[in-house]
Chain A
């Protein structure tokens, strides 16, 4: 398992956002998380990538504990120096891209590898160009984010996350901020990564995409996993009434 999250609990000011959620992702697996807004999907991703701290439960990367609950019931994280290592295992692609506007596309991809991972400029730039070629935007290496379309910006963001060579890549509604005609190009590169057996967790509202690309679908509602399994089973033959109800909305 790349990541394992056990009995995760998270509250925001008394509101329980995650209630005892457990899930894991195997090497090479592509998992889609679907569900209504406010169901805790994004929070789960933010806890997995250490942007939010859990209130209870356990997070393991590659079988190693990053956080656990102590005897008093409080969540304890490893020392922040070790946490940096755990952070390096995972990448996150945001809904709003969050590219660095003052850096060129190439520098967006190379700055962290050079400054954080202390890789050589030459190697970082070479692998960045390789990624940009894969994303079909090698010609934009010298451009600045504001000069790109939303779809291109999101592809840069995906490349920036991949440039860190993460073990697992999380996507937080990667196409929700895009015009419909631009979602296709982003979904295409995610699909391409899936074909290369990149381990990924995608929070999405793109049901046909989730069905076609993922090995497993998780339906979340009210801070719990209502149903999960093979995408064909979940989409075509959901067991839970709540899942049926949710999917019906998308069929219309």
Chain B
């Protein structure tokens, strides 16, 4: 296999990696906020369930969770899992990352001084106005460093998709390396991941800078 074929095959894999990455963020960033809010719900049952969810997600390996989501429908319900590979993958990633984001959001929300809520209350803001206009913007600024960490971890975690034999860049690197008895695919994969994270770090830094106009 020529280097250029190797590169183009792996670039296609990298596109699939990006797909996992983008879909996971698109799902888990908002879902994490919902989970964070449910964790502070007025209903004890809801609080208990969300805490259990976060605890299970954080207490088990993501690789295992992916296998459960993929094979679960077959072993538990005898359902066919044809075409289920990619949905299972995304569900696994989204639910995993939502739990971590939820904890980051919670920390951010709890770090906002109670005086901000009181000022809103006295000025007559509704609960949703208070959250959307006053609290959330400040939370976002405060949690940016932790979110950046998590997003960079996600870029690398996408490689766990190989457990479900999804043809993203890491799976391909392994396959090509084995079939061609070559070390080069690993180097290419490494460069791809590094470049992806370089872009992520750059973007996140720009966002942090944009939020630098106040303290």
**Given A84, A94, A145, A160, which contacts B124 in the complex, CB threshold below 8 Å?**
A84
Q: Which of B116, B137, B214, B215 has the most CB of A within 10 A?
A: B214
A115: interface (CB < 8 Å): yes
B143 at the interface (CB under 8 A from A): no
Q: Does A209 contact B (CB under 8 A)?
A: no
Closest to B213 in A: A144
Q: Decide if B115 touches A96 in the complex (CB within 8 Å).
A: yes
Among A26-34, A63-71, A98-106, A181-189, the stretch that binds chain B is: A98-106
Partner of A87, one of B115, B124, B134: B124
How many contacts between A and B, using CB within 8 angstroms? 57
> In residues 110-162 of chain B, which contact A (Cβ within 8 Å)?
113, 115-116, 118-119, 121-125, 129, 133-134, 137-138, 141
Q: A100-B134, A146-B214 are in contact. Are A92 and B122 (CB under 8 A)?
A: yes
A98 touches B124 (CB 8 A): no
In B173-215, the 8 Å CB interface with A consists of 213-215
A55 at the interface (CB under 8 A from B): no
Contact check, B124 vs A146: say whether CB atoms are below 8 A apart.
no
If A87-B121, A112-B125, A116-B125 are given as contacts, then 11 extra A-B residue pairs at C-beta distance below 8 Å, sorted by A number, are A51-B118, A90-B122, A91-B122, A94-B115, A98-B115, A101-B214, A102-B137, A112-B123, A115-B125, A160-B123, A164-B123
A49–B214 CB distance below 8 A: no
A92–B121 Cα distance when bound, in Å, is 10
Q: How far is the CA of A101 from the CA of B115 in the complex (A)?
A: 12
Chain B residues in the interface with A (C-beta under 8 A): 113, 115-116, 118-119, 121-125, 129, 133-134, 137-138, 141, 213-215
A154 to chain B, nearest CB (A): 13
| Residues A102 and B214 in contact, CB atoms below 8 Å apart | yes
* A50: B residues at CB distance < 8 A: 121
Query: Which label, helix, strand, loop or mixed, suits the secondary structure of the B interface?
Result: helix
A102 vs B125: C-alpha distance in the bound complex, in angstroms?
16
Report A-chain residues with C-beta under 8 Å of the C-beta of B123. Answer: 112, 116, 160, 164
Contact B122 A87 (CB under 8 A): yes
CB atoms of B138 and A94 under 8 A apart: no
Q: Say yes or no: A101-B119 contact (C-beta < 8 A), given A112-B125, A164-B124.
A: no
Q: A35 to nearest B CB, angstroms?
A: 22
Instruction: Identify which of residues 202-237 in chain A touch chain B, using a CB-to-CB cut-off of 8 Å.
Output: none
- Is A111's beta carbon under 8 Å from chain B? yes
User: How far, in whole Å, are A237 and B201 apart by their CA atoms in the complex?
Assistant: 69
Among the listed A84, A145, A161, which residue makes an inter-chain contact with B214, where contact means beta carbons less than 8 Å apart?
A145
> What is the minimal beta-carbon distance from A78 to any residue of chain B, in angstroms?
15
Closest Cβ neighbor of A50 among chain B residues? B121
